[in-house]
């Protein structure tokens, strides 16, 4: 596995810090910044596709961190499998979730705040 790069946390001067310190600093989405391996893997896998989607939707790049957070929340495989278990074909599940994700990103952009 390739070495994952540290993520920048403005409130912590760009260094990797403990979860307790991130909480003390009031940083939200701390798993994204605390060097959480699973979150870094999600970021490594989905950063380029999410950034391309933001560009295609004319949503500024400032929205990336929140878009990644939203993606991780909405496309949790356990939740997708739960929807599939309700007799929905997986392609239908993915189409519903894709449209919901795009709708959430568009609505969030319309509100005009670049962070969640």
Give the SS3 label for residue 67. helix
Distance set, CA 39 to CA 14, 31, 72, 104, 105 (Å): 17, 7, 8, 21, 20
pLDDT, position 5: 45
Q: How far apart are CA 3 and CA 92, in angstroms?
A: 36
Q: Is the pLDDT of residue 6 over 60?
A: no
Q: Which residue has the higher pLDDT, 108 or 27?
A: 108
Distance CA 38, CA 68 (A): 13
Domain boundaries, the chain: 1-35, 39-111
Look at residue 75 and tell me whether its pLDDT is greater than 60. yes
| H helix and E strand count, the chain | 6, 0
The pLDDT of residue 69: 85
pLDDT at 4: 44
> Does 54 have pLDDT greater than 80?
yes
The answer on pLDDT for 52 being more than 90 is yes
Structure-token pair, residue 106 = 């568009």
Q: How many CB atoms lie within 10 A of CB 75?
A: 15
More confident residue, 94 or 33: 94
Using an 8 Å Cβ cutoff, are 50 and 71 in contact?
A: yes
Q: Burial code of 89-105, b = ≥16 C-beta within 10 A, e = fewer?
A: eeeebeeebeeebeebb
pLDDT of residue 93: 94
């Amino acid at each position: 596995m390739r070495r994952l790069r540290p993520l920048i946390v403005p409130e912590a001067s760009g260094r990797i810090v403990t979860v307790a310190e991130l909480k003390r600093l009031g940083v939200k989405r701390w798993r994204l910044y605390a060097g959480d391996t699973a979150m870094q893997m999600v970021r490594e896998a989905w950063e380029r596709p999410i950034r391309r989607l933001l560009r295609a939707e004319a949503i500024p790049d400032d929205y990336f961190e929140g878009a990644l957070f939203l993606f991780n929340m909405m496309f949790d495989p356990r939740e997708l499998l739960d929807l599939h278990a309700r007799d929905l074909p997986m392609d239908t599940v993915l189409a519903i979730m894709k449209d919901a994700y795009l709708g959430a990103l568009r609505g969030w952009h319309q509100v005009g705040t670049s962070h969640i």
